[in-house]
Chains A and B, each alone.
Chain A
Amino acid sequence: MDEGNDARSKEVVRLWRAWRTAHEMIADRQEYELAEDEIKISLDRFRSDYCNPDGSVNRGKLQFSARPSDSMLRKNTPPKTDSDPDPTPDCGPVWVEFLSDTSFGVGQIRNFAKYIITNQYKTGIMITHGALSPAARKSLASVENLAKIECFLEEDLLVNITHHELVPRHVLLSREEKTALLKRYRLKETQLPRILQKDPVARYLGLKRGQVVKIIRTSETAGRYASYRLCV
């Protein structure tokens, strides 16, 4: 009985940490509207809100959505052109869900994608307990142009990697900032250093192909040193 309780409370702590990191991740992605007390939820409150009476976590409740703020929408809208006088912004509401299945096939991915698309979310983040099957991972690419679906393992979110002292600050550049950068240094896009889309920080920030991040490191000689990387 005591052992069962112990395992259960460990599970609760794990999920609480993943839950917090997921919120921090959304908050760090530009300017989604999230309340401060939602991000910094205490373990006790997490227990009282999301646990069943017997102490186990109710994963069905572990889901949330966030809307982008107006300034973020403005930033992510492509400039008007003749052919597209009323452009739609690239970003949109995000849906985050903790899924309780232990194994993931194409079926589960399709269900999730259907939910995202029917509810008009632009981005869906599924946080899973077990790994995806290879076919499921490949099928993610096929729905890419309808909605962006990102997958994280629970164990990847136990700590927030961007808070580690060896991880420098990554700042996503907006469209205008990117063009200004390329103009300032007279560069073509391809001449920038690159960062992979599967890079842990790139995944954390949800980078898309073609976006540029500014990486600010501390430097012994210069104080701060900024470099830029193009996501590929």
Chain B
Amino acid sequence: MAASNPGPKSILKKPAGSRPTTEQDRRAVAIQHAQILEHRKELEAQILDDVILLSEYPMAPGATSSDDPAPSDVVDFKTHVRLFQPSDYDDLIEERNVNGLCGYVLCPKARRKTGPGGEWTLAASGQIVKRKELEKWCSQKCARRALYVKVQLNETAAWERAGIPDIEIEVMDLPTVEPETEEDRAAKKLGELTLEDQRQAARDSAALALERGELPTTATPTGVARKTPVKVTLKENTEIKETPSTGVFEDDDHLMVDGYKSTRGVE
């Protein structure tokens, strides 16, 4: 009789997201986690391959300097560098330096060698800089171009970004545009600044008006808010219908009991 009894039954509630109980479920979960890890490993291996590949760029035969890189090289560079973290990019620069190349991927020149000496050296600008930093590049231009790419890279792990298609790395190659002077840059910045100020003022006043319960205003570029008149017409229902009397019930019908009206308590 008792043999069929499966044992004491728990009176506790089963947790909602209960753990997988059967062997198969557990196996499925383990496999899923293993696949995630495998994917991460694959991505890491791919990034390492990309580092090794890019450490020998540019591939196009005619390239002479980073001023006019071959379009195919630029496209390759952009696609391969897409998933890099800044640290991977540093590895790439170092690997290129080991190969004797300038740290910027699109530059075919050899890196600068400043000859024997100590840890520090004088840069062209007169600053004292680490020799290692200086010897990473062939010129200051390449250093700026390489760092322009580096600041666009993301610290987030590669496997979290792999699925996002709109990560686009831009390359600073302005072969035709003249280098802008300090003044140009300042003027441009000033223009942006005033424009942005005006926009901000307009936005603020609109928000304030809304908060005060005023009518929405349209902000003009000069910052003066103009009210648009709104015509309000009230439509009132003045007619009141009288309820028709039925003539069946008297005023004190409610006091009647079986056709007899009690006289008690009325006085």
Residues of B within 8 A of A1 (CB): none
Check B92 for interface membership: any CB of A closer than 8 A: yes
Check B48 for interface membership: any CB of A closer than 8 A: yes
Distance in Å from the Cβ of A29 to the closest Cβ of chain B? 30
- Closest residue of B by beta carbon distance from A137: B91
Bound Cα distance A202, B113 (Å): 38
Distance in Å from the Cβ of A212 to the closest Cβ of chain B? 26
Which residues A160-217 have CB closer than 8 A to chain B?
none
Judge whether B99 and A135 touch: CB under 8 Å. no
Judge whether B48 and A105 touch: CB under 8 Å. no
Residues of B within 8 A of A106 (CB): 52, 55, 95
Residues of B within 8 A of A107 (CB): 98-99
Bound Cα distance A107, B99 (Å): 8
Given contacts A135-B52, A138-B48, A139-B52, contact A105 B91 (CB under 8 A): no
Bound Cα distance A74, B249 (Å): 119
Bound Cα distance A142, B42 (Å): 12
Bound Cα distance A134, B86 (Å): 13
Which residues B27-85 have CB closer than 8 A to chain A?
45, 48, 51-52, 55
Bound Cα distance A36, B191 (Å): 81
Which residues A81-125 have CB closer than 8 A to chain B?
103-107
Check A133 for interface membership: any CB of B closer than 8 A: yes
Given contacts A105-B98, A106-B52, A106-B55, contact A135 B45 (CB under 8 A): no
Residues of A within 8 A of B94 (CB): 133-135
Q: How many residues of B contact A (CB 8 A)?
A: 13
Residues of A within 8 A of B98 (CB): 103-105, 107, 133, 136
Judge whether A105 and B45 touch: CB under 8 Å. no
Name B's interface SS.
Answer: helix
- Closest residue of A by beta carbon distance from B90: A134
Residues of B within 8 A of A133 (CB): 91, 94-95, 98
Contact with A along B93-130 (1 / 0, CB 8 A): 01101110000000000000000000000000000000
Bound Cα distance A135, B52 (Å): 8
Q: How many residues of A contact B (CB 8 A)?
A: 12
- Closest residue of A by beta carbon distance from B52: A106
Judge whether B45 and A134 touch: CB under 8 Å. no
Distance in Å from the Cβ of A86 to the closest Cβ of chain B? 31
Bound Cα distance A105, B54 (Å): 13
Bound Cα distance A142, B41 (Å): 11
Residues of B within 8 A of A139 (CB): 48, 52
Judge whether B95 and A142 touch: CB under 8 Å. no
Residues of B within 8 A of A135 (CB): 48, 51-52, 55, 91-92, 94-95
Distance in Å from the Cβ of A96 to the closest Cβ of chain B? 23
Judge whether B92 and A105 touch: CB under 8 Å. no
Bound Cα distance A103, B135 (Å): 14
Most buried by A among B95, B98, B99: B98
Residues of B within 8 A of A138 (CB): 48, 91
Bound Cα distance A136, B45 (Å): 13
Distance in Å from the Cβ of B204 to the closest Cβ of chain A? 50
Judge whether B99 and A142 touch: CB under 8 Å. no
Bound Cα distance A133, B94 (Å): 7
- Closest residue of A by beta carbon distance from B51: A135
Distance in Å from the Cβ of A57 to the closest Cβ of chain B? 20
Distance in Å from the Cβ of B3 to the closest Cβ of chain A? 35
Distance in Å from the Cβ of A109 to the closest Cβ of chain B? 10
- Closest residue of B by beta carbon distance from A134: B91
- Closest residue of A by beta carbon distance from B94: A133
Bound Cα distance A136, B98 (Å): 10
Residues of A within 8 A of B95 (CB): 105-106, 133-136
Residues of A within 8 A of B52 (CB): 106, 135, 139
Distance in Å from the Cβ of A146 to the closest Cβ of chain B? 15
Bound Cα distance A142, B47 (Å): 13
A-B CB proximity, top 7 nearest: A105-B98, A134-B91, A135-B95, A103-B98, A135-B91, A135-B51, A133-B94
Known: A133-B91, A142-B48. 12 other contacts (CB 8 A): A103-B97, A105-B95, A106-B52, A106-B55, A106-B95, A107-B99, A133-B95, A134-B95, A138-B48, A139-B48, A139-B52, A142-B45
Residues on B facing A (Cβ under 8 Å): 45, 48, 51-52, 55, 90-92, 94-95, 97-99
Can you list 21 A-B pairs with a CB-CB distance of less than 8 A? A104-B98, A105-B55, A105-B95, A105-B98, A105-B99, A106-B52, A107-B98, A107-B99, A133-B91, A133-B95, A133-B98, A134-B90, A134-B91, A134-B94, A134-B95, A135-B92, A135-B94, A138-B48, A139-B48, A142-B45, A142-B48
